Amino acid sequence: MTTQIVYSEEFNKHNNPGHPENAQRLNAMINEINKSAIKSKLDFIKPEILPEKILYETHSEWMIENIKNLSLEEGGWIDLDTYVCQSDYETARLAAGGMLQACNNVLNQDAENAFALVRPPGHHATINHSMGFC
């Protein structure tokens, strides 16, 4: 059985140490994998950045431009739960691209299954609204 893991150290750029959702979450998982015998059964894949045009198939122009602008500045807050760090626009595209790769690899039977260890989290985003974390 082949399990692919999407991971990049670039994901740690999305970090706010004072927030409950921070880079330590991902670091803890990677540290445990590295200590585990299961590591030899995993296939780590390097994520590829998601083409910008695909973002516009999923999110509104307003939402994309808002994240891009916050990311190009010093970062900021979208709402009380959701922060944006400098360079998050590119980091989020890398995470989304890696998740798409993993899905395609499973669908094409290049992997039996996959798990994406990515940051920033985006599973509560809709077309034009971010909704925090869980």
Tell me if 63 sits within 8 A of 127, measured CB to CB.
yes
Task: Single out the catalytic residue among 14, 19, 123, 124.
Answer: 124
Interhelix angle 61-72/88-107, rounded to 10 degrees, is 130
Give tens-digit pLDDT for 92-128.
999 999 999 999 999 999 999 999 999 988 667 788 8
Report residue 112: phi and psi, to 5°: -75, -35
Reported as half-sphere exposure (CB side, CA atoms, 13 A), residue 45 has a value of 26
CA distance 134 to 132: 7
Q: Which helix (H) or strand (E) holds 75?
A: none
Where do the structural domains in the chain lie, given as residue ranges? 3-116
pLDDT tops 80 at residue 132: no
Please, what is the Cα angle at 47 between 41 and 49, to 5 degrees? Answer: 170
Decide if 124 is catalytic: yes
pLDDT tops 90 at residue 2: no
